[in-house]
Amino acid sequence: MALPFLAEAGSTPRIFNFASGPGVMPAAVLAQAQRELFDWNGSGLSMLELPFTGEDFKSVMWRAQDSLRALLAVPDNYRILFMHGGASAQFSLLPLNLLGGAERADYLETGYWSRRAVTEARRYCAVNIAASTGGTDFDRMPVQEELHLDPGAAYCHYTSNETANGVQFHRVPDSGAVPLVADMTSDFLSRPLDIARYGMIYASSQKNIGPAGFTVVIVREDLLGRAHPATPTLFDYRMQAEAGSLLNTPVTFAIYLAGLVFQWLAERGGVAAMECRSLARSAQLYRAIDASVGFYRCPVQPAHRSRMNVCFMLADSALTPLFLSGAARHGLVNLKGHSMLGGVRASLYNAMPDEGVSALTAFMRKFAEEHAHHV
Ligand SMILES: Cc1ncc(COP(=O)(O)O)c(C=O)c1O
């Protein structure tokens, strides 16, 4: 008898998961992992049982890294690292690895996550807030003319997509000769990138990469070897680059799953195709919000709205719990906004089926009709 999940894989799922992370996984990838759980590649061993020092796991690791390099056209002078500790660890590891004796770094303050990065960086260096949109509750990203950059900064950090606030950069800030560093945790692999514009990019894995467990760091080679002497060996970018991210036991199962997601992505047209889909799907959702004549409201200025995390409020906030429970009954789950900000947040990562967005907009219209007297 087919296992229940296998019977469903490939068909339209009835539950649509809008979680901000860990987020929705491609059904085809889960089905493949289910098949291979007991017997990976005819080895008679589960992927969970492969020693990380053996050739089998190493081939999984190299394939995942090569696929990622191909997906993003990562130039040869950049190293791809799979690191422990989530993107939050990078908030500290970045200054530890890139200050290299300098005492200052630029940060763009654009929402909840960049603020967290700033707080952590202040433990290691003087932070210059090169721009902040906090004055208008992070309803947009700063424009280039607003940036007050410090030419003596070791690097300039920004968050390409603010997962909690639903605001996204749709252009790459220019930091001149200062290496640009981006936290791309929540929009990584959602569009093509010109990697050469960056000194470093990092993204934890539980959004568009799929499984929670590790953080991708893509770093230009000339920035390696600057780590503060007190940096733990495990978190020294150069040491990890030299060891092929195998300094200690990596999160083998998450890396295996990520490799399957990269393959899934490549088979579906790669990041250019993902960008087209995310443009169309986020536009569909924002249209539904804007067409509700005030029943729903997106606090983010239209030109800066995130294509990955669509955040909106109900005009009558007392209706929000009813909206969320009604949505869940329709199979539209994990729509609750960030705990600090409230409201509703629909995360539209690559693995979200288009039908999920259509089902959500249909539910939103119906809910607004039924409760229109509240506006
Ligand atoms: C933009 C951004 N940066 C950093 C983080 C923190 O990631 P982690 O939980 O992997 O430390 C998140 C988590 O959602 C995020 O969205």
Instruction: List, as one string, the DSSP characters of 159-179.
Output: ESEETTTTEE-SSPPP-TTSP
Residue 273: HSE in the Cβ half-sphere, 13 Å Cα cutoff: 10
> Is 113 one of the catalytic residues?
yes
Residue with tokens 């932070």: 127
Residue with tokens 């060996």: 233
CB 217 within 8 A of CB 234: no
Q: What is the pLDDT of residues 168-183, one digit of tens each?
A: 999 999 999 999 999 9
pLDDT at 366: 97
The pair of three-digit structure tokens given for residue 187, joined into one six-digit string: 């929009």
**Residues comprising the chain, all counted:** 375
Ligand 1 contacts CB of residue 306 (under 6 A): no
The pair of three-digit structure tokens given for residue 272, joined into one six-digit string: 């250019």
> Is 39 one of the catalytic residues?
no
Share of the chain above pLDDT 90, in %: 94
The pair of three-digit structure tokens given for residue 24, joined into one six-digit string: 């929705």
CB 81 within 8 A of CB 241: yes
pLDDT over 90 (residue 374): no
> Is 62 one of the catalytic residues?
no
Note the pTM of the prediction, 2 decimals.
0.95
CB 109 within 8 A of CB 159: no
> In this structure, are strands 156-159 and 104-109 parallel, antiparallel, or unpaired?
parallel
Q: What is the pLDDT of residues 110-157, one digit of tens each?
A: 999 999 999 999 999 999 999 999 999 999 999 999 999 999 999 999
d(CA 24, CA 350): 8
Ligand 1 contacts CB of residue 113 (under 6 A): yes
Tell me which CATH homologous superfamily contains domain 270-374: Aspartate Aminotransferase, domain 1 (3.90.1150.10)
Distance from Cα 320 to the centre of ligand 1, integer Å: 25
Ligand 1 contacts CB of residue 21 (under 6 A): yes
The domain limits of the chain are 33-266, 270-374
pLDDT over 60 (residue 7): no
Q: Could you tell me which CATH number the domain at 33-266 has?
A: 3.40.640.10
Measuring CA to CA, which residue among 94, 86, 116, 81 is closest to residue 21?
Answer: 86
